[in-house]
Structure 1
């Protein structure tokens, strides 16, 4: 099969799980004998643009005609079987869909977040769940400045969502949702349910697994409010006040709360802030962990670090909402805490560090779960199946997949949680 992958790479200064997923899928397909090309832009290149080009960028976020022409020319020259679209913000734009329509090439799109229904893609505002724009106008996002705290920066995203909503829904033959939780949100917001397929991200086998009980608790990810970093600090303070849990907390990552986290950890012997790990260091840190902690306050569409822990035979303590509830079987392969509740998080951390035999069994269950649902073999099978479905749908040789059920009460639950201050 000949696949062309379309992706706007996120800035390397803030390592992206999405970039990692794209690279791993390209490598997986090529290793299986498929021909894979890449049509990409890099957000790193924005810094080198002349001032005039930088000033024009917001106008091009909703629609970039030069990208449409360039991609269409490449599609006519190479004639791939299918185009796989990932991120198009800010340098590509949904004009890539028009290029595919111009040339009649089937399109698959992976939805890595919630930008189809929420301009910043987080379903969160001011640290609380928010569904104000879901299924309706994105104007509330502009009013609240939901992207980077700026109304001006939010406008291009809101405009793009408004003017391209139907183009996405009609121009993509198959959407890959990276969790059932995400699919339920998008289906409930009016996206074409028959085109939404759940395809969890896969994780390569790390080649190293935990031996023994582990040496530390590990937070591995972006240091940001939505990732639950402040919640983790509050829970750790509660644990420390009660005598601690016998192992240190390792915090690996960078982000807007880096200074705050560093100041909190300064002078403590139960917390180590190690900055940004390279891939090898990440694998080693995970394999030496008693558990990986993922306390996100926003509704994660997936949760890559949890699956990376599973692959190493390490259980997770994760927030009990979003995709985590389908990744972690509570009490079997890890523990789920009440979202936004530091006492619940502290209790789960205390339990998973104190009950060593239970922890070891959870680690074994986590590894089995990985092998059954998130291994490269499973990932390849689901990728190719999705491509074949898209090709068949575009050619008229097969109908779309049958509709899947969704929880129609989800929007009400999220809206109520936002009003009440938690999920």
Structure 2
């Protein structure tokens, strides 16, 4: 098969799970013998643009006519069987869908977040889950300045959501959701159920296995409130007052809460803050974990860190909302806690670290679940099946 992958890469200063997914999927297809080419833009390039070009970027978020022309020419020259669209913000725009329609090539799009119904794509505002724009015009997001806390910055994103709703319904052959939870919410928002299907992300098997019983509880990811970092800190302080767990909490990552987390960890023997670490170091940290904590307070559309822990045979403690309940079998491959509840999170961390035999059994079950549902072989089979289904439907 010939597959043209369309993606606007996120800025390189922060780790991007979406960039990793696109890179892994592209490599997986190529390794399986498919012809794959990339049509990309990079958000890092905005910094080197002229002042005039920078000023024009927001104007082209809803629609970039130059990209439509360029992509159509690329399709004519290479003639892919299918175009796979990932992120289009901010330099590509949904004009890529029109280019596919112009050249009569079926387009498949992976929905990595909730940008079709929520301008910032997070369903999160003021420290809580927010669905005010779901199923309606995104005026609340504009009122609250949901993108970067700014109404002017939110305006082009909200305009794109409103202007391109029909395009995502009519010019895409298949919308791939990365969890059943995401699909259910989008169906409730009014997207056609027949257009939406579920294809979970996969994780490479890098061979790292955990060193039982483990040396620490691990948080791995961006340091933001919506990822549950402040909730985790509160739960850990509660546990510390009661004598602690006997293993330290290790936090690896960076983000807006970096200074706060570093100050909280400073001088403590039960907490280690490591900052940003490369992929190999993160795999080693996972292999040495008793459990991985994923206490997100927003509705995660997937949860790569949980599946990466599964691949290493490590159980997870995760919030019981969003995609986590379909990734973590409560009591089997890990534990679920009440979302936003520090006491429930602390209790789950205590349970998963105190019972060694149960912890070992959960880790083994997590690895089996990974092999069945989230391995490269499973990911490739589902992706190719979706392409073939779309091509069958497109044939006269």
**TM-score interval for Structure 1 and Structure 2 normalised by the shorter chain:** over 0.9
2:173 paired with 1:159: no
Give the Cα–Cα distance (whole angstroms) in 1 for the partners of residues 212 and 162 of structure 2: 53
Task: Give me the whole-angstrom Cα distance separating, in 1, the residues matched to 2:145 and 2:391.
Answer: 39
2:107 corresponds in structure 1 to 107
The equivalent residue for 1:298 is 298
In the TM superposition, residue 129 of structure 1 has moved relative to its aligned partner by: 1.0
Q: Which residue of 1 aligns with 2:33?
A: 33
Segments of structure 2 that go 5 or more residues without pairing to the other structure are none
2:332 alignment counterpart: 332
The unaligned stretches of length 5 or more in structure 1 are: 397-423
For residues 360 and 206 of structure 1, the distance between their equivalents in structure 2, rounded to whole angstroms, comes to 20
State the secondary structure of the residue aligned to 1:38. Answer: strand
Counterpart check, 1:85 vs 2:88? no
CA drift of 1:211 comes to: 2.4
Cα contact 1:8–1:89 (8 A) shared by 2: yes
Q: Residue 350 of structure 2 corresponds to which residue in structure 1?
A: 350
Aligned to 1:390: 390
Alpha-carbon distance, 1:267 to partner? 1.1
Q: Does 1:126 align with 2:126?
A: yes
Distance (Å, rounded) in 2 between the aligned partners of 1:352 and 1:210: 15
How far does residue 69 in structure 1 lie from its aligned partner after superposition?
0.6
Could you list the structure 1 runs, at least 4 aligned residues long, displaced by more than 6 angstroms after superposition.
Answer: none
Distance 2:355 2:148 in 1: 41
- 2:7 paired residue number: 7
Distance 2:33 2:394 in 1: 24
Structure 2: distance between partners of 1:66 and 1:281: 41
Whether 1:231 and 2:225 are equivalent positions in the alignment is no
Specify the SS of the correspondent of 2:251: strand
Q: Once structures 1 and 2 are overlaid, which stretch shifts more, 260-269 or 373-382?
A: 260-269
Q: TM-score scaled to structure 2, two decimals?
A: 0.99
- 1:393-412 matched pairs, under 5 angstroms: 393-396=393-396
Partner of 2:253: 253
Say what the alpha-carbon RMSD is for the aligned residues: 0.7
Higher normalized contact order (CA 8 Å, seq sep 6+, divided by chain length): 1
User: What do the CA deviations read for 1:47-84 (whole angstroms, capped 9, x no partner)?
Assistant: 00011111111000000111101000000000000000
Counterparts of 1:73 and 1:269 in 2: how far apart (Å)?
59
Q: Report how many residues are paired.
A: 396
Secondary structure at the residue paired with 1:225? coil
Give secondary structure in 2 for the equivalent of 1:70. Answer: helix
- 1:174 and 1:389 in contact (8 A); partners too: no
Q: Which residue of 2 aligns with 1:405?
A: none
- Give the distance between the partners of 1:244 and 1:116, measured in 2 at CA: 43
